[in-house]
Structure 1
Amino acid sequence: MTEFERWLAQDLDDRDLTAELESVKDKPEEINDRFYRDLEFGTGGLRGVIGAGTNRMNVYTVRKATQGMANYLLKHADGKPQSVAIAHDSRIKGVAFAQQSAAVLAANGIKAYLYPQLMPTPALSFAVRHLKCDAGICVTASHNPAKYNGYKAYGSDGCQVTADMADGIMNEINSLDIFADVKKLDFQEGIDKGLIEYIGEETVDAFIDSVYAENLKVDASNLELVYTPLNGSGLMCVKRILDRIGVKDVTVVPEQENPDGNFPTCPYPNPEIREALQKGLELCEKVQPDLLLATDPDCDRVGIAVNQKGEYVLMTGNEVGIMLLDFIARVKKEQGKLPAHPVAVTTIVSTDMVDPIAKEYGVELRRCLTGFKYIGDIIAELEEKEGSADSYLLGFEESYGYLSGGYVRDKDAVDGSMLICQMAAYYKGKGMTLVEAMNALYEKYGYYKNDLMNFGFEGEDGMKTMNGIMDKLRNDPPAEIAGTKVTGRSDYKTSQSYGDKEGVIDLPKSNVLEYRLEDGCKLIVRPSGTEPKIKIYLSGKGATRADSEAVIQKMKDAVPALLGI
């Protein structure tokens, strides 16, 4: 209440916030939710609901975070001038948050390079490296609902910040008063002084050229496409890259073409979810393209639906990752360009089906924690420590994130869109759809099935509930799940595996629990790092599609009891 009253007494320069505070004066629960904590700055930066309060995304929490970053950079500058690249997508307040971040940096004598138009998140990662910046900021909440915005922070390598850097920035943020300790400069004055500079078309062109350099020389002019950027940032870059690989027949979903942070046609603008693709699917019924392509608002994830005899079949992120690995390795082998020691990277929650495919082509498969920064770290390791940058074939996450080159250190839906279209064109030339290509892989390697369950926990009580669930599972692990014996488990927070894979886990610590079952199935529990929810990853394999689906359904039915909800 003290902090609420302090905010209410301030002459806030965003009048929307004052009106909002006035509207909740008699709502103690609302006040508590807005002020019971500060938004936490972690390796994903900030993410939260837009609004007034310390637990909200607003110009004051954004300025404070940026002042913390500025303090951190200046303390570690060793006398070198510092610079930061900034981008934003179509989110509400995105332009204001990006400009205010630039203004705070400028007030601290740090050069800010700012994209003048909305751009994909991977274009920010690219700009950090291309402009040789010391850090980066991308104002986005990725695929969260419209009420959210966020602030992704990047290091000089183009990866999202490391845990050490995030902790260092957080310590600086925690030492600041949100009103008294943040340096300010008028945005236009920053431009006039040369401390804020707009990023030019040369950088955009260089980004597109770098994506194009990863193409597999497959003519995609035979492809007919419906595309939706989901009212986000993907339209310009995706259309440019598709044009360069020969895809000329592109119909854009009109209701989702233009940037709109309200996402009026899809309350949850996530290409993993059918509802987000509904307008695209309706258009497909009329246009009958080979493929529906959908990128999320910050254009780092891409989902597809495939025309299978007139019916549009949604493909999972795991399936697309599997097909891309097989396709890239297959085509490079056909072209005589497969590296001597090829490497692919995926996460601990992604499908086990990549293992036999990697083995088929002699590809070393490396697994890392969830979060593309960990894949980025492995790409950097290949380049810098192992001297084998050309060995890297593909990195992917089951949540529709793909990257085939080292030009950025984040997932890239521009690159993913290009590769998927070339893959679809390749199989179309052989008289096959991507559904049929996937079925051929299932027939060869077995019917691996993966599924994801989400359980939301809003507010302060929700966080306590989530923590309680994880503590109970960690301290009192189940002996069986869905009637099947647990033969092994891994606790990534303590870096220990028990049972069938006894030993130390050589990965950074993370609040993730894995349970391996006697029948070869697997269940992983992970609190989301960006939303108030717990994610359950289910993995199984059966002799047939029906068998694998039945195994997964049996586990899904057991999950609520496992979580005690």
Structure 2
Amino acid sequence: MSEIDVRAALAHWSECVADDELSAELAQLSEADDAAVADAFFQDLEFGTAGLRGVIGAGTNRMNVYTVARATQGLAEHLNARFENPSVAIARDSRHKGELFVRTAASVLAANGIRCLVYPRVEPTPALSFAVRDLGCSAGINMTASHNPAAYSGYKVYGADGCQITSEAAADISARIARLGYFEADGACAKTVDFDRAAAEGLVEEIGDDTLERFVEAVLAQSQETPEQMQRPLEVVYTPLCGTGLECVSDALGRIGIDSLDVVAGQGEPNGDFPTCEYPNPEERAALEAGIARCHERAAQGAAPDLLLATDPDADRVGVACEDGDDYTLVTGNEMGILLMDYLARMRAERGEDIARCIAVTTIVSSAMADDVARAHGFELRRTLTGFKYIGEQIGLLEAAEEADRFMFGFEESYGYLAGTHVRDKDAVVASMLICQMARFYREQGMNLVQAMRALYERYGYCLNRTISLSYPGADGARKMADIMAGLRAQAPASVAGRAVLRATDYARGAAMPVVGGTGEGLAPLPSANVVELALEGDCKVIVRPSGTEPKIKAYLFAKADAREDALALLDVLDAAARAMLA
């Protein structure tokens, strides 16, 4: 929109909005500078495969009851076109306005004749994925902004299979949303009905605790310990980062014998302000500082914990830190994925299972060490595109072939893990349980998880990773990004950082799924993706992927060496070379 357009949009919203809080914000915006008005109104909040995500507030580019209602109307039309009697499960995390947005979405769905099943309190994302399939729903909605700062909220949509929606579904929903306004009197906007009336008429129901119990039972079905092993001691400091994890994580851990969790003060209960943690992302040390401080307190008292466990606000991702000399070291997402994959393979082998039947799934940008672990244990490893929905898709294919029992584990480098087929998304509840059981396993050997990972490095070599993100701002940014990707496709460099490029893979052409320990026979090619991979001599590689939502290109760097120092030095060289290549 032009400057006049955004001012006109502001005036239109000011006339039509009935919400007192949004009206007050619009009044403030009317006195603000043009940049502030433009930021709120220059576009409609984009609906993609991750649904909606944005800052809470007034405007078309914000998360509010009107943008939520409009998106839900698009979803309702999509569902009514595909299902005879659709139903939707709805959940929320601890974000501000979460309950209001749930009621708004349910009111729109009910007005469109769609039955809604709503969790009555905050619950983890995996509990929503579970509920969709457990209750036979056509779709799911989760009001969550994952690990974003407190100003954000989001609207994530799941399909009937419990996976995040496909690109095709997202495109159809987005097209339907685009035809809608926000306040139009001619009906070209969201239909709505009073929430309490819809509940009285049976179109809105609460999801009972029996569903949540079945979810926790499904998590416990992945336990790797005998009842005797569950008696072994383990001291855990835990932080839900003011999110949704406490109820389900503490329940699951209590049932495997960890009934005295030390929950970090001020971070246990849901709180959308995230007052002790500005950026509640368990990948970042800053988010774990309060937990690390509690670990140091325990250590000073002579009772150092075995690990610090941290789940993100919607409890689909989990981070871990362990004592390492005088400080605590964070286990990276790639490292925890490798540790868990190796541990689960060991446990299955000890039980006498045929490991050759097992299948693990990760992504093309996750640690190369996963290949080595798969070869060592003899199971099959598949690599999908980035995004856990692709891992969930592989589980669905196995289930359709009546081979769901072959699925052993899935992980992505961004701290998402899954064992079991009870959900189709990453699950910090089952991951937390398995991490604690694995920690007990290594404690018996005199190691914590950081030390266990070092042992794996010594065995397989130091496969280290780094991700860099380069920005391309301004009007020319998109064109510059397109030129870079086109150049890589037209003529890949002969070498990067002095290492020959052995193979260039353009995933836009639908590359074959990378498979280790299997033939890949019968597997469909990967979907087209704007990604280029450069495999370098010496077991190194660079993967280049532009963002679909920001003017940025990410480069994933992979280095391998016999010593950690050499691998880190190699990452530095690859870093400099990638920046020069993408300049």
Tell me the TM-score normalised to structure 1 length.
0.93
What's the % identity of the aligned pairs? 50
List alignment gaps of at least 5 residues for structure 2.
299-303, 513-522
* Other-structure match for 1:296: 312
Q: Mapping of 1:215-294 within 5 angstroms?
A: 215-217=223-225, 219-220=229-230, 221-287=232-298, 288-294=304-310
- How large is the Cα RMSD of the aligned pairs? 2.0
* Other-structure match for 1:437: 452
* Other-structure match for 1:66: 72
Partner amino acid, structure 2, of 1:262: D
Partner amino acid, structure 2, of 1:16: E
> What is the rounded CA distance, in whole Å, between the counterparts of 2:548 and 2:275 in structure 1?
26
| Contact 1:339–1:390 (CA under 8 A) maintained in structure 2 | no
Q: Mapping of 1:89-488 within 5 angstroms?
A: 89-180=93-184, 181-217=189-225, 219-220=229-230, 221-287=232-298, 288-309=304-325, 311-384=327-400, 386-455=401-470, 467-477=478-488, 479=493, 480-488=495-503
List alignment gaps of at least 5 residues for structure 1.
498-503
Do structure 1's residue 544 and structure 2's residue 563 form an aligned pair?
Answer: yes
| Contact 2:355–2:377 (CA under 8 A) maintained in structure 1 | no
> What is the rounded CA distance, in whole Å, between the counterparts of 2:393 and 2:223 in structure 1?
23
> What is the rounded CA distance, in whole Å, between the counterparts of 2:530 and 2:251 in structure 1?
40
| Contact 2:334–2:415 (CA under 8 A) maintained in structure 1 | yes
Q: CA deviation at 1:512?
A: 2.3
Distance 1:33 1:515, change over 3 A: farther
Pick which of 19-28 and 339-348 moved more: 19-28
Q: CA deviation at 1:561?
A: 3.2
* Other-structure match for 2:22: 17
Pick which of 472-481 and 506-515 moved more: 472-481
* Other-structure match for 1:28: 34
Q: CA deviation at 1:563?
A: 3.2
Distance 1:546 1:47, change over 3 A: same
Partner amino acid, structure 2, of 1:555: L
Partner amino acid, structure 2, of 1:273: E
> What is the rounded CA distance, in whole Å, between the counterparts of 1:222 and 1:81 in structure 2?
50
| Contact 2:14–2:27 (CA under 8 A) maintained in structure 1 | no
> What is the rounded CA distance, in whole Å, between the counterparts of 2:276 and 2:176 in structure 1?
40
How many matched pairs?
A: 551
Q: CA deviation at 1:529?
A: 5.3
> What is the rounded CA distance, in whole Å, between the counterparts of 1:20 and 1:397 in structure 2?
40
Partner amino acid, structure 1, of 2:566: D
Distance 1:314 1:508, change over 3 A: same
Partner amino acid, structure 2, of 1:53: G
> What is the rounded CA distance, in whole Å, between the counterparts of 1:36 and 1:490 in structure 2?
37
* Other-structure match for 1:500: none
Q: 1:158-207 deviations in whole A, cap 9, x for unaligned? A: 01111111111111111112223210111111111111111111011111
Do structure 1's residue 85 and structure 2's residue 96 form an aligned pair?
Answer: no
Distance 1:427 1:141, change over 3 A: same
Q: 1:436-478 deviations in whole A, cap 9, x for unaligned? A: 2212211111111112234467xxx56x565334312212226
1:10 is paired with a residue whose SS is: helix
Match of 1:508 among 508, 524, 527: 527
Distance 1:336 1:454, change over 3 A: same
Do structure 1's residue 45 and structure 2's residue 45 form an aligned pair?
Answer: no
Distance 1:10 1:559, change over 3 A: farther
| Contact 1:44–1:530 (CA under 8 A) maintained in structure 2 | no
Partner amino acid, structure 1, of 2:48: G
> What is the rounded CA distance, in whole Å, between the counterparts of 2:20 and 2:544 in structure 1?
42
Q: 1:38-93 deviations in whole A, cap 9, x for unaligned? A: 2221111111122222222111111001000101111112xx21110000001121
> What is the rounded CA distance, in whole Å, between the counterparts of 2:157 and 2:59 in structure 1?
21
Tell me the TM-score normalised to structure 2 length.
0.90
